[in-house]
Each structure stands twice: as C-alpha cells, then as structure tokens.
C-alpha cells in the first residue's frame, strides 16, 4: 500500500496531462484528478502513520538495476521520520491544491498547473519515503525540476523565466555536493540503503575509501549538507529562494515554504547518524543555520513585497531548523519543520488571498485597510504571524522554545537565535499592520473583497493547525521525540528559556505596534541609518556579488574558451592544412593530368606505406619509431 502514496499523484498528473492539458480544457474539473489522488495519498499516509506507531519501521524494495556488484533498488523506508513527513507533505499539498482551484481560476494554464502540482507531490512523497540514497537523489532532482517548472509557470514574462533558471542552477551546485557524498558512501559501503548505512556506521564497520576515517566522517556529512544548503536555501546558496517568489503564490506556499525547501532539513535528519559522528559537521550545520537565520531576518525587516518578506522569513526559519537539528537532534529540528510547514503555508496562502484580491498587487506600501475588507484573511494571517513570532500558545512557541533551549549549549548561537526571534516578531507585526491596518493606499486595495470558499477553507484549517500544532510535541508528553528518537529521554520544559523567548517575541511585537500601530502609511524602517538601510535592502550585496561577479566571470570564461576554440585550436588544424597545401603546390608538377600516372604513384605509395608499416611492426625500424 505504501508505494501508492507517491504513485497516485503521479498517475493523476499523467491523467490530467492527457485529459485536460492536451485538450486545452482549463475548467475546474481539471483540478480533480490531482486533488482526489493527493487526498487518497493523505489517507494512506494516515494509515501508514498508525501502522508505524503500532508495528514500528517497515521496509519494502525491488531491484531496479544491477551491473556487476553495483545494484540499485527502488523502495520505501517507513519509519517515524518518514511517516511524520508524509503527513506534513500530503496535508499541506492537499490544502494548497484546494486553495489553487480558487487562486488559479481562469488562468490559461490551469490544467498544466495541476499536472505540475501532482508531479511535485509525487516526487516529494517519493523523496520522503526513499529507502536508499540513489532514490533520494533521483527524487531530489525531480522536485527540483518541478520547482523549475512552477517558478517559471508564467513564462511569458522574463522575470519568472530567469528566476526558474536561477533556482535550478543554484540548487544544482548543492546537488553536486550531495552526489559526491552519495558516491563516497557507496564506494565505501557498496550500498545505497539508508538503513544498512546506519547500521554500518553505528557498528563502526564502514571502511572509508580514499580518506582517513576521521576525514571521511567529516567530509561526507559536509558534502551531504551542501546539498541541503542548496535545497533549503541556506547561506551562501540562499539567493534563489526570494527570486522564486515569481511563481504563483500557492507554489510559494507548497514548494518554497512548507515542503521542498524543508527537504534539506529532512535530509540532514534522515542522515543524522552521519552528522552525529562528526562534531565539525554539526558545528558547521549549526553555524550556517544560525547565521542564515540572522542574515535572512535582517533582510526581511526592510522588504516591501509581501512575498519577499515571507521568503526571507522562510530562509530564516530554515536556518533555525538547521540550528535546532545540529544542537538538539532530529526531534527538535523536525518539530519546527512540521509546525513551520503549516503556519508558513498559511501565511503564503493568506498573502495569495491578498494578492488575488488586490489584482496582483504585492507591494505592502500600496495595501492597507484590508482588515475590514478581508476579515477572514486578516484573522488567519494574524494567527500565522503569531505562530511564526512564537507567541504562547501558538504552534511556533513550542517548537521555537525547543530550539532556543538546545541552543543554550552555545551562548553565541543562543544570542543569535534570540535576536532572530525578536526580529521575526517585529517584521511580522510590520507586515500585518502594513497590509491590514489603516486606510487603503491604492485603488486595488480599496476594492479588495474576501476570497471564495476554495481559498477560505484551507486558510481556516491551516490557522487551526497554526494555533494547535504544538500539541504534537508538548513538553512532558513529547510524543514526537518518542516517535523520532525512541532512545532519548523525554525532555523537560525549560521555564527560563520559554519565558525569555516569549518576552523577546512580545518585545518585537511591541516595537512593531509602536512604530506601525498609529500610522502604518509611513514605513518606519526607512528611518534606519541610511547606510544600514541600503545594506539591508540590497540584501547584503550577496546577489550583486553573484550576478556581477560570478555569473559575468562565467560568461567571460565561456567566451574566452570559445575564442580559443575558434582561433587557436581550429587554426592549428588550418595550419596543418596550409602546410599540406604548400607541399602540394611544390609537388604540383606531378599533376600532369594523366590518370595512368596517378594510379602508378598511388600504387607506389601504398606499397611504400605497407612496407614501412611491415618493417615498423617487425621492429626493423625500432630505432626510428618512438
């Protein structure tokens, strides 16, 4: 049954392609195959979750390819981690698909959109279930291409097309690391299977190739982490995610907030046994995560595009998850991943609802006054914002608290994480006030109306999850910890950290309310010192470094090699031809036009050649030949 979880959406996508895309039928019915299939996948995921809870982990596989001692299989590894992730992915996917029926209505690519969504759901569920690294890599690439297709969905404009390409190429740099890591593991263990690798590592039976054991167990997790850095948009490969906001907003919610970008975090959790063995690797993950969280949060402070704020927030929260994973373990990271998936999907969908109502206006400065016009969207956004800010009793409070508590081990990282929490609370307050409070600041905003039920119902359901999602791992019960790390002691509740974290969040909100509560029309962050403001709104100049530096250098390099090819390599050959021509002219006297003479010369030459070769072969010319 488990194998149908990823297969159903793929079949539905194929069906959609044949029945609707080919026939250019963009009616609402085109959404149904994928929605029904994802619904069925969700039901199966629930069954799978219960089965894991009752019977423990399960594995199934069939051989795919065997050459000599190389063998690759397709299979699933259903354990607590994958069962949890299945539930997150399938449920968010379903809600986003339902939302999209309303959001994408009337688009001339409606059917195509749903075919892509089905394909993505399939690849993502496959990635979650994969029992071996080759299949992980395969699905990893497939979700990447779905992301490419969906970012560039509105291909007629240049910006989405550029963003799609940028996303695919930047993440592929990370993928190279993952690929190398997988190959190093295979070369050492001669297996791709995650469970087998885990056993080998834990029993200390993995004999590294090429590197010493110490270096191997540092390099391999770091290579795998490089893949995660690309996919989960961590510094320095985070630049693609904000651009990816060019895609339709439901895509941003599903792929670029809740699921695919979290795949990097999931991967680290999946292969945590590798990271566990290397303090260096864990330190790197923690610092990259912590720094990314900080970097992205500072940039989010000054963004004026509602989706860009959320995009940087996502990067920041993914960094948080990495930090939590590295310092607190699988359950800590995965807890935040799960709660974040719901409230960030909620925030994006709500933003989508706003954008839809405002006729594709995304600039916060031209919104305002939407609270009265779109009460449902406004209230649900508030729920998502409070969850993201980490306010009691919303889901984010519980999962963030665990990360903060585990960050206590490193004072510097703890300070960083606390600062991020404060900034997060502030920029979400700013976002809410700019969008919903005050008076409309544009024509579109003043005509906005609440969205249809297709969009409303998913918002309400996600808002409920944002409110109560913390229940899956409340302190004391710690059901998630028990599921993911059965060997670990249930943790207590660190009161000082919780109170401190909450205080910082409330302080951030208070500053936001103070600055924006009275007059949201004036964007208070512009009053920051000029240099700082410019630095932040230029995203720390990292994008400029890539575009002006790396990309241009690459193009220049290509042009140089092409010049070399045209003018040097090719001319060397022409030189040889020219020499031949010269010799030919010298011998031109032979061209007397008598065929018999030509034939005789030809025959003579052939004889001489054969004789030379014969002599060479027998060694008579041994001294002459090299």
Partner 1 sequence: MVEQSTGFGVLSLLVFLPLLGAALVLLTPREAAGLHRVLALATTVATFLVSLWVFAGFQGATYHFQMVEFVPWFPQAGIHYRLGVDGISIWLILLTTLLTALSAWFSVYVRERTKAYMAFLLLLETAMLGVFVSLDMILFYTFFEASLIPMYFLIAIWGGERRAYASLKFFLFTFAGSIFMLIGMVALAKLHEQATGVWSFSLMDIQSEVANGRLWAGALQTQAVVFWAFAVAFLVKCPAFPLHTWLPDAHTEAPTAGSIILAGVLLKMGTYGFLRFCLPLFPDVVANQVPILCALAVIGILYGAAVSAVQPDVKRLVAYSSVAHMGFVLLGIFSLTPTGMVGGAYQQLNHGISTGALFLLIGLIYERRHTRLFADYGGLKARMPLFAALFLIIMLSSVGLPGTNGFVGEFLSLMGAFEASFARRFGLHPAYAVFAAAGVILAAVYLLWMFQKMFYGPITSEENRRLKDLKPWEVALVMVFVVFVFWGGLVPSTFTKPMEASLHAARMMALNPVGQRPDWRNLELEIDPKGNLVRVEPRTREALATPPNYGEVVVPAEKHYPLAKPSAETAKEQPRA
Nearer to partner 1, 569 or 600 (CB): 569
β-strand 70-78 against 58-67: which pairing, if any? antiparallel
Nearer to partner 1, 172 or 199 (CB): 172
What does the H/E/C string look like for 170-200?
HHHHHHHHHHHHHHHHHHHHCCCEHHHHHHH
User: Is the alpha carbon torsion for 81, 273, 470, 351 positive or negative?
Assistant: negative
CA-only gyration radius of the chain, Å:
30
Nearer to partner 1, 223 or 285 (CB): 223
Nearer to partner 1, 474 or 576 (CB): 576
- Binders of partner 1 in range 561-580 (CB under 8 A): 561-562, 565, 569-570, 572-573, 577
Residue 392 corresponds to which tokens in the numbers above? 């009691």
Could you tell me how many residues of this chain bind partner 1 (CB under 8 A)? 63
x-marked contacts with partner 1 along 216-255 as a string, rule CB under 8 A: ----------------------------------------
**42 exposed, middle or buried (CB, 10 Å; 0-12, 13-18, 19+)?**
buried
Nearer to partner 1, 108 or 204 (CB): 108
CA distance 366 to 294: 28
CA atoms within 13 A on the CB side of 364: 30
Nearer to partner 1, 209 or 600 (CB): 209
* Listed ranges 353-361, 370-378, 470-478, 617-625: which one lies at the site for partner 1 (CB under 8 A): 617-625
Among 70, 578, 590, 598, which residue interacts with partner 1 (rule: CB under 8 A)?
70
x-marked contacts with partner 1 along 6-45 as a string, rule CB under 8 A: ----------------x-----------------------
Backbone angles phi, psi at 100, to 5 degrees: -65, -25
Question: Following CA atoms 166, 171, 177, 179 in sequence, which dihedral angle do they give, to the nearest 10 degrees?
Answer: -110
Nearer to partner 1, 109 or 500 (CB): 109
- Binders of partner 1 in range 111-140 (CB under 8 A): 137-139
CA distance 145 to 123: 10
CB 223 within 8 A of CB 184: yes
CA distance 142 to 231: 12
Q: Please tell me whether residue 106 binds partner 1 under the rule CB under 8 A.
A: no
Q: Please tell me whether residue 145 binds partner 1 under the rule CB under 8 A.
A: yes
- Binders of partner 1 in range 584-613 (CB under 8 A): 609-610, 613
Question: Following CA atoms 592, 595, 596, 599 in sequence, which dihedral angle do they give, to the nearest 10 degrees?
Answer: 110
Count CB atoms within 10 A of the CB of residue 18.
12
Nearer to partner 1, 126 or 396 (CB): 126
> What does the binding site for partner 1 look like in residue numbers (CB under 8 A)?
22, 64-70, 137-139, 141-142, 145, 148, 152, 155-158, 160-162, 164-165, 168-169, 172-173, 175-176, 179-180, 183, 186-187, 190, 209-210, 554-555, 557-559, 561-562, 565, 569-570, 572-573, 577, 609-610, 613-614, 616-619, 622, 625-626
């Amino acid at each position: 049954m488990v194998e149908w979880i990823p297969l159903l959406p793929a079949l539905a996508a194929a069906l959609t392609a044949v029945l609707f895309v080919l026939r250019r039928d963009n009616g609402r019915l085109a959404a149904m195959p994928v929605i029904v299939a994802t619904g069925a996948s969700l039901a199966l995921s629930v069954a799978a979750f219960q089965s894991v809870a009752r019977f423990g982990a399960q594995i199934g596989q069939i051989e795919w390819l065997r050459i000599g001692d190389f063998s690759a299989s397709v299979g699933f590894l259903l354990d607590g981690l994958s069962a949890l992730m299945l539930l997150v992915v399938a449920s968010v996917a379903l809600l986003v698909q339902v939302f999209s029926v309303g959001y994408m209505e009337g688009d001339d690519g409606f059917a195509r959109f749903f075919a892509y969504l089905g394909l993505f759901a399939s690849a993502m569920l496959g990635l979650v279930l994969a029992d071996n690294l080759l299949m992980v890599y395969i699905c990893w690439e497939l979700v990447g291409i779905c992301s490419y297709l969906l970012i560039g969905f509105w291909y007629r404009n240049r910006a989405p097309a550029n963003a799609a390409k940028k996303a695919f190429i930047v993440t592929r740099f990370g993928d190279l690391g993952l690929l190398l890591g997988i190959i190093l593991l295979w070369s050492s263990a001669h297996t791709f299977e995650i469970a087998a690798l885990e056993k080998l590592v834990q029993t200390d039976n993995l004999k590294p190739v090429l590197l010493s054991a110490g270096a191997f167990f540092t390099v391999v997790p770091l290579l795998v982490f490089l893949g995660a850095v690309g996919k989960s948009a961590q510094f320095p490969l985070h630049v693609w995610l904000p651009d990816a906001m060019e895609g339709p907003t439901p895509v941003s919610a599903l792929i670029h907030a809740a699921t695919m970008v979290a795949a990097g975090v999931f991967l680290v959790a999946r292969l945590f046994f590798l990271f566990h063995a290397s303090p260096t690797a864990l330190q790197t993950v923690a610092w990259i995560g912590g720094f990314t969280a900080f970097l992205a949060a500072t940039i989010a402070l000054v963004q004026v595009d509602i989706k860009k704020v959320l995009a940087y927030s996502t990067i920041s929260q993914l960094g948080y998850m990495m930090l939590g994973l590295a310092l607190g373990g699988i359950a800590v990271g995965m807890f935040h991943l799960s709660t974040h998936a719901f409230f960030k999907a909620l925030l994006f969908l709500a933003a989508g609802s706003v954008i839809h109502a405002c006729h594709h206006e995304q600039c916060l400065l031209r919104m305002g006054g939407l609270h009265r016009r779109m009460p449902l969207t406004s209230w649900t956004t508030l729920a998502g914002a409070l969850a993201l800010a980490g306010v009691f009793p919303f889901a984010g409070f519980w999962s963030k608290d665990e990360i903060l508590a585990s960050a206590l081990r490193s004072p510097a990282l703890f300070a960083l994480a606390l600062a991020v929490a404060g900034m997060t609370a502030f920029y979400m307050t700013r976002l809410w006030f700019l969008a919903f409070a005050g008076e409309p600041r544009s024509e579109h905003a003043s005509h906005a109306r609440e969205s249809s039920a297709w969009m409303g119902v998913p918002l309400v359901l996600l808002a409920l999850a944002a409110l109560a999602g913390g229940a899956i791992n409340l302190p004391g019960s710690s059901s998630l910890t028990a599921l993911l790390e059965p060997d670990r002691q249930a943790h207590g509740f660190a009161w000082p950290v919780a109170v401190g974290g909450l205080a910082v969040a409330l302080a951030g909100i208070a500053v936001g309310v103070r600055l924006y509560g009275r007059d949201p029309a004036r964007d208070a962050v512009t009053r920051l010192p000029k240099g700082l403001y410019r630095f932040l709104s230029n995203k720390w100049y990292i994008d400029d470094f890539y575009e002006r530096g790396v990309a241009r250098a690459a193009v220049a390099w290509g042009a140089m090699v092409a010049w070399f090819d045209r003018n040097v390599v090719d001319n060397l050959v022409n030189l040889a031809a020219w020499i031949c021509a010269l010799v030919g002219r010298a011998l031109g006297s032979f061209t007397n036009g008598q065929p018999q003479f030509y034939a005789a010369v030809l025959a003579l030459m052939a004889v001489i050649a054969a004789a030379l070769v014969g002599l060479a072969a027998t060694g008579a010319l041994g001294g002459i030949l090299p």
